[in-house]
Amino acid sequence: MRCVDVLVLVLALAGLSMAAAEKISVKGNQLVNEKGQPLKLRGINYFGFNNGQTMVYRMQLLGFNAVRLPFSFKDFNLKGRTDYIWCREASASEIRRTVSPPGFVPWSKPLPPPRAPLLVGGGRCNIGMPNNVFDRFLWVINYFAKAGFKIVIDNHVWLEDPTAYENPKLWVDSWQKLAAAVSKDPISRGVVMYDLVNEPDNKRIFWTERKGRPSLAKLYFDAMDAIQRPPGLYRRMSDSFGYLSTKGYCGKNKCLKWPVLLGEFSAPHSGAPQDTNAVEGLVKYINNEGDAKDGRHEPINLWFFWTWNNNSPDTNGGIVKENWADIGEGKARSMA
């Protein structure tokens, strides 16, 4: 099972409507909208950012309202590309078919229109996209924001980006530059959250400095200053992060509670019993029900499933199948 860095949801086709993304803020252990109402994020991870505009629309039709975008700072230095993808625009009937479960008659009512216009023209699917990698990432963030999504941007150090531990100062400066660019966009500003460093322990980055690796505490605080299953498993999750929603983080006779957001979770979905048990157990923990209701955590309403992409080897693919068009109903149903 993919390690819980954190999420999951489901086919909410009928009656779907996506409002423009409201600005978000933190209130105690909850994320709230502009009216102070608690938010529920039903998110999906999507890596290899590009302009899959129809893909964004289909995410909405499946019921997702948030996206987590892993990225690498070192990729921002890659040479820009000037090639274009030639294609034809998908019809409403084709889109309807791909988000309808097998054996069901596709939804006959008109699909709710996409919140963000599909920029397909002259036979090109990626028309209007910047060729500079940094600007392209900002474009993708802006497009999801216009579509009504809440967004988490995630510096993925696991395999892709050594910046945090090879050059901590450059890492902090890079976060400052990226956060400043996001904040300058009135559409993206207020709906983007920062996952500063993904799975740092995989690169031997711990809370205190060890063997030449910078301390996670210093990385976190420097970055923040620069930008503004079975009962045993349930116990371990509560010990790790669940308690932050109830007791909170305590120090100097004061405890502070904050929202808990699960950045990614999944399983291979190979049909093995342990896959099913793992996902079902985690869903119970997220919902705080059954034997996972341990009194030490509250329901977790902010989560992101791993992943939309098919090219995720450790989870045997993602929501979309090998053709990157059809939906894998087994994984979609596991989130219902």
Position 191 confidence tier, pLDDT thresholds 50, 70, 90: very high
Mean pLDDT of 257-262: 83
CB atoms within 10 A of CB 100: 17
Mean pLDDT of 91-119: 69
- Per-residue pLDDT tens digits for 29-46: 889 999 999 999 999 888
Structure confidence at residue 8 (pLDDT): 22
Residue 20 lies in a domain: no
Structure tokens given for 95: 């889109």
Nearest to 13 by CA among 87, 125, 108, 144: 108
Residue count of the chain, please give it.
336
Residue 7 lies in a domain: no
Structure confidence at residue 60 (pLDDT): 83
Structure confidence at residue 217 (pLDDT): 59
Of the listed ranges 11-15, 183-187, 195-199, the least confidently predicted one is 11-15
Which residues span the domain enclosing 301?
A: 25-334
- Per-residue pLDDT tens digits for 277-294: 777 788 888 888 888 888
Tell me which range, 128-142, 154-168, 201-215, 232-246, is most confidently predicted by mean pLDDT: 128-142
Tell me which range, 69-78, 120-129, 263-272, is most confidently predicted by mean pLDDT: 69-78
The CA distance from 274 to 270, in Å, is: 10
Residue 152 lies in a domain: yes
Q: Is the pLDDT of residue 300 over 80?
A: yes
CB atoms within 10 A of CB 120: 18
CATH number of domain containing 37: 3.20.20.80
Structure confidence at residue 107 (pLDDT): 61
Residue 99 lies in a domain: yes
Angular region, 168: left φ>0, alpha ψ -120 to 50, beta rest: alpha
Q: Domains in the chain: how many in total?
A: 1
Residue 1 lies in a domain: no
Residue 144 lies in a domain: yes
Residue 104 lies in a domain: yes
- Per-residue pLDDT tens digits for 192-250: 999 887 766 554 555 555 566 665 556 655 665 665 444 566 777 777 777 778 888 88
Mean pLDDT of 13-19: 33
Q: Which residue has the higher pLDDT, 252 or 31?
A: 31
The CA distance from 179 to 205, in Å, is: 23
Non-local CB neighbours of 62 within 8 Å, separated by 6+ positions = 9, 10, 11, 12, 13, 99, 319, 327, 332
Residue 16 lies in a domain: no
